[in-house]
Amino acid sequence: MLEALTGTGLAGAAGLNAYIPLLAIGLLDRYTNLITLPDSWKWLSNGWVLIILAVLLAVELVADKVPLVDHANDVIQTVVRPTAGGLAFTAGSTSETVTVTDPGSFFESKQWVPMLIGIILAGTVHLTKAAARPVVNTLTLGFGTPVVSTAEDATSVTLSVVAIIIPVLVLLFIGLFIWLMWWVVTRRRRRARARAAAGATQYTQ
């Protein structure tokens, strides 16, 4: 159960920012005892890999905070974030952490299962984020973009650390995410109805 929550939290964080959870896993494995990656995932804590992830993160942090550029970035990230989510879920759920000391039995040898779950989770979070961003941009005339993006980055960092240290709190994120999905769907339906009503009014005139 805790392994699944760790993987879920890391995949969810990847859906918000592809590089933060992978960088968090690598740094915490390299410099702390909070997580110990299995041998097959030790490459994540390699110095060169960490540098590359840091550079990609820097680019992402800038691109995601500029209106219009953030939309283009989301299109590119449609492939990157789910992939990162699959990697993060698999690496996190098969690692020893401060709360999980025997992850070996989790999914046993079926490594494709956590990879697929991570891809789906991160993809769902990414698509919800991408759908919510135009609504935020419209409501705030673009001024809310850097604020929301910064909040998403902070959430990704927090969720990555929480997933490793206190995975049970990931349940709170799941609840908040379900509420966000409901909000996005509701807002988009209202906008569609408003456009339809405006079109009908113009037609009758």
pTM: 0.82
| Distance (Å, whole) CA 10 – CA 74 | 19
121-178 tens-digit pLDDT: 999 998 888 877 776 666 666 667 788 888 889 999 999 999 999 888 888 888 887 8
Sequence-ordered strand ranges (E) for the chain = 35-36, 96-97
A 10 A CB-CB count for 142 gives: 14
Residue 14's pLDDT is: 94
Q: Residues with Cβ < 8 Å from 29, sequence gap 6 or more? A: 35, 36, 37, 42, 44, 45, 95
